[in-house]
Structure 1
Amino acid sequence: MRMVDSINRIICKTSKLVDYFTEDGLIKQIGLTKEYWNRVIIKEIVDNALDAIEPLNNKEVHIIQSDSSLGIYDNGNGISCEIIKSIYDFNFYVSQNRIYVTASRGKQGNGLKTIISICFLKKYRLLWHTNEGIILEGIIDAEKAKNGKICVDFKQIGTTEKKGIEICGYELHQSAYYKNYVYFYTVCNPDVTFHLDYLGIEFHNPATAECVDKSQNISLAYYDYDTFKQFITDTQDGNSTYKKFLEEYFGTRIKNKSGIKSKIKDIDFNSQEFINDFLMLKEDQQTKKYTLLKKQLIGLENVLNTSIEMEDSNSLISKSDMVIPCIVEFSVKKDTFKGDTNRKEADIECYINNSITYNNSWSIGFDGGWYKIGNKTVYARDLDDLLKDMSNFSFVFHIVSPYLKFTDAGKTRIDITSFFNELLEKLNKAIAKENRLFSSDNKRTNNRAVMRDYVTDAFNMASDNGRYAITARQIWYKMREISGIEEKKHTYADFTQEILTEWIDDNPEYEDKVNFSDRGNFFVDGSQNGLGTANVRNFINTIGTSQNIFKCYGGISSNIHIEPDFDLIYKYDKVLYIEKTGFDAIFKAEKVGEKYNMIIVSGQGFSTRAAKTLLYKFQQMGLKLYCLHDLDISGIYILDSFGTPNKKFKECINMENLGVTLEDVEKYHIEPEKVDIKQEDKKKLKNLSYEYRRFFDAGTSYRRVELNAFTTAEILEILENKLSAINNLPTINLEESLNVDHKAIRETAFMRIMAEKYREQLDKIHVPIDLSAYKGKYTVDMAKEEIPDIEERLIEKYEREIAQKLNIS
């Protein structure tokens, strides 16, 4: 390019960081020896380009290697000449993002300074393609640099349509060198399109995911106390308010949570008020601390949510409040590698915050020691030590966190000791899963046997070792995660109906912790309850707590009233189980439960453990149980299943058949429908009585009549014919059960007399009520707390007025 005379002045600085411009000094700065510096150039410039395009809906990075230069460009807004000149001041950081504690690729402010230093020491020319459309070169005086003085002469070299950095004299490598970088960056940035132009030959790696803006990952939960103070002072004018600052960076909801209304300049950052406000706001975000980090994920199969403790012994707050969220995602793949006899070590890829690492698996370190991995025990200090002997495995790791511990000044090696044991446990489970998938004969082991082996581990993981109540589905998800079982047609049903049921029988102390989802409803005392284990358990625990009396209430404050407090056996003598939900709503509308003193339980096909537990409790209380079902093969078996103990439920439940019966079909002239008969139905059909076999069997199909074939009037008539004459409710002895509260009755009688005697005088008394003091927005809880006090104050006003007007002392 032709040199163009520059009108820019020469900038000279005596730098406190002159070590940037000696080989030994720069090695200390970046933690890597000279032979790695070309890698540093590519990584730092690509990282800078990715940061620049992060908010865009279309992200592109171009890498162009010619005979004489390497150019890395992007489709972002570019960098200005003014910013470039400020970067050459080695006394200061320049990055505008350095104050944000986010899961970024770096943003420490010294990445581009490092590029300047490497180019100076390796005698490369560094050309900046600016957003003003000009190419700018900063020429450092080498002689003055030896004496600790950095003098830069800025020259304009020409014009450009590109935005990025060009390095003239950069060593020419094989195309595979650049392709590797493009591949690795594509893996950890699936929403970016990478273009490689190598000596005129073009390669394109298109984006494989929708663009995600990760630049907005600013969360109060990421900050430690001291960094948060620094963030405020670095970004805010002292005259702006603290709430305005919170709204700008963290949103309206966080702003409204804060109790501090002061201007920034008036806040005592070391006061307990500010510390408590910071901790309160941070705690408010703890439930969502991983939400923003999830934007960074690249889609690997296994995900570990963990945290890193900040290292700061001088902080004014507790160390327990200085934990930073971290997510580790990884994949484990096993292959036989039959054709690759030269492969001696595992294939390991490591990424951090959507960027590559300088030393791949050597970059991820932890406390040295002996660790069990797979079926081996190895001495390891980093992921390379740990995994390299697993030659038939491929691993990909991605660590996402706004704070990482480093073990070297150049920040090339991070320390994961604080969560390594968590990662190792999850990693071993993933390896075990892959080994099962690739057994010696490459066949899957029996699913039920695998589930039995892992159900305890799955329960412990889902419940935090029995600490929390959980759903059966939560256990199932952990089961799939650690066992490798895939959810297919019958696997979940096998797990819940057989494996988990057996496990609960063997571990009865945990039965209250495992909740099966609602599969139906039951109606008691006018309320609808979901037919799941938690609701059934809670309901059964309330039975027998009533006193079997009519309670009398009232007195000075209200009229007398009497409410019943009776056990269910005084209200109900029947229970109807119906195999379909939907009819229960009809029965509720028609008040069927009240008419027949009947509890209605509706299921979905075959009864669940929760349904049987509830029905057996009713049976023990002496209630009569009835079953209303379809007239089909399953319907007959549903009725029979109640009376047949099995692994899922060991008690016998006696149910009376309420229909649909053969007689009902004949009486109402219902035409049976024909449906395809399944293999399992053929087996069931053989075990039915001759009468049922004759009705159901239609050769290649079978007949059935569903409840839905009847009108509502016909269903109600069936119930009336079979239930109207049955009434087994116990009688109530009012002499014993009516609880007479003489004080309540006496005070109620007195209030009636007084109200009648002074009615005319009371009607004339009126006290103005001013509620303006209560103007404002109340939450429900705040209103509930305030209203009784308001009510008492209003009554006191009238008491004083009435006492005065009626001369009552």
Structure 2
Amino acid sequence: MPRTVFSTSRTAEFLDRQALQSQTGQSHDRFGDVVIKELLDNALDAAESECVAPEIGLTVSSADDVARVCVSDNGPGIPAAVIERILDFTRNVSDKESLRSPTRGMQGNAFKTLLGIPYALGVTESVVIEAHGVRHEIALSTDPSSELAIRHAKTSSTRTTGTAVTVPLPADRVTAAKAAGWLRKFALVNPHARFVDHGQASGGEGAGIYEPTAPEGWRKPWPTDPTSAHHYDNAAMEKLVFAHIREHRQGGADLTVRAFTNTFTGLSGSAKAKKVAERLPQITHLSGFEEKREQVPVLLAALKEHSKPPTPSYLGKVPRDHYHHVLDQAFGVEESWFARKQLTDAAGIPWSIEVTVARTKSPGDVGFAVNYSATFGEPLARTRLAGDKISEYGALSFLTQADAAPVPANQSLRAAIVHLVCPVPQFTDKGKTTLVVPREVADACAKALTEASRVLLKDKRSKQSADRREMRAAMRELDAEAATSAEPKVTLKDAVFAVIREAIAQARGTEELSFSSHTLFYKIRPLALKLLPPGSKVTAPYVEQTLLPMWERANGPIRGLYREPRGTLHHPHDPEGTKDVRLGTREVREYQPPQWSYNKILVIEKTGLWPPVRESGIADRYDMAVITNEGYSTEACRDLLARMPAGEVQIFVLHDADPAGYNIARTLGEATARMPDHRIEVIDLGLSVDDAIAKGLEAEPDTRESALPARILPHLTPTARAWFTGKPIARKPDGKPASWRYQRVELNAFSSPELIAYIEEGLARHHATGKVIPPDSWLSVNAEGSLRHRVAAAVGAAIDAMIPKDRIIDEILEGLDTDQITAISSTDVAQLHTHRPSLSWTDAVPILVGQRLSDHADLPALARQGVINYQATERQ
């Protein structure tokens, strides 16, 4: 008997977690962000399609472990017929598919993914759409054959204006605070819209309402605006023509060539439509191109010939004051700077780049947007941005180098927004985040970033220069003190060492709390100044980085002293980063490496390279932990490496091809003045100058104001020495060089795939050890635990299926005086706080309930009796 050949619909992919990750371009842990962004995009587009000022509401409410994200708008409302088309999962439904215009979201399947995400995350509650007086409750699922099943119920609704969409999600996937962040980012780039956070997640009266600030007559491209023929190439025009033909074959109109011509900017008149049609005498309707596809380029040429290319000004301009206003409302702005660049690239495509940077009163963040829509990440992450003083990959790295981005490690009070507008954005990912931009656009972005951050960069460099001068002055003072030994006097070192124990006691306090090295400095300085001559200076860098380590080497570690983390240890096989360890003194002191977790550590000079390393899976493939930090490794980092069992864990380092990078590799393993007893075996993977040349990486000029570190010279090849030595460009009064111009190459010169390939080449070249496999005894114990867990899960599932726990629970509750037990008042909580002030109210309530319950009943006995009663009923 022949076998039956089965076919399976691919529509169920909208309910599969992996398939949804592919469609949205985001991992499942960010599906909450996907929902919020898509709902806000849709709401804005709906209002703009009616040419009305958008009024957008956002609510996040949680109950029963389910968070419900609701976004409402004042648009025309989604008609019931459109909802039916959305539920046809065999087709994409979009009014923007194939069009080239600076509008938000152009996937065509975004709303379908919103319907499938709840099911993929284990939520059975329906998605609710309310419009035109109808409430649509839609729930998707699959039958046992993996076929898509749709439940669509309709009831009446009080909403007659606009649309409200509510999507249920697991409570841990979205919070009111996260939603408030998205609302702020959208408010930043939409000055014509009013945004209301009904949950007030932003905090403070009115903080969740962003009023429109756009002046009268302000305009951006609307979703209903005609597009320009100059935005299309032959392939894009062919796609658009055949999209219309496809709609015609499915019951839509077959547009005439003249009618099609009228849909483009500058071609709405009949005279121009006639001239375009005359170029195609054998084709009257778009369906005619099915037989004459080669005529599509003729059509496009005629469309361009009879219309003018739009200038960048049509892309719109978000007023500088609006950016300032929204950032001020969110973070409190002390001062802000703005830059805008508008240009047409070599392909004739217009661009607009807007950058605002602010010094704030509270910690802010950096937002990114493309075409008036906030993005999941940074659009320019893979773009080299070469400014006057800074050259980095990505706007975030550029702003960080300019001290124009918030850095949690030093709590810098900064906020920024980078907004790009383009009718033909070329994205490299499904999430429509990372852009590919032409070189001239990258240069314009770098100029905008440079202008907006110039003041902060100048302030940063002035402070660095002042710190260096202060350090040099302190060193000169020490040298002068040593030179006048014939006249004994108290040196800075003597003064600090004389008062350090008293300063430690003050910093620690009577409660024996931990304290930072900077806190200790502030206790040392006034005490030391009393012992020093008038006019003496006690500087933080010298005390914290030189004298404190010197004192600890002679007297042992200072109890309670910690240094702030300046790096992170990432464990393999930890995609969520739950095991990440920040590398501060306290964290390293408490860290116990997990057994049989990794046998290699890769130290990377740049924190910004961790995302591609994580995404590549190289750490998992090699069972390799990764340490990321900026610049030189801290003592905490080197202490951690020194604790690794010798010969059991290979340690590798990856750095820039510049003097600092070579020195980073050296100091990681060798003894230094601050750590004279430190010495471990470190394998240098590069980047070396010779490797950079062999890989064809782009070198860049740089300036150094100090001689090459003598201890790296033995590690330099002749080529590297020539690169790093460079040429003197300034001299001291005595004629000796004061600064040099030299060449260097950053790791960022690699593309992400090239970087991963380079790391793997290095690991293979240096014979990286294989995977971690523990001894048989450990594997057996682990297998027994896994077996027991599986059996326990199966037993638990069987018990849950056999015993109706909810019914037994309801019967027990009916027998209790629940009103008496649960009547908890604020007075009760306050009274408990008098004895246990560390409790939160959420911890206090269960304690009070437990106390009252124990006064009323023996709960374990009631539970046992409830099960016995049920079993007796079943036997009858």
| Bin for the TM-score computed over the shorter chain | 0.3 to 0.5
Structure showing greater radius of gyration is 1
What TM-score do you get using the length of structure 1 for normalisation? 0.45
More strand by share: 1
What TM-score do you get using the length of structure 2 for normalisation? 0.41
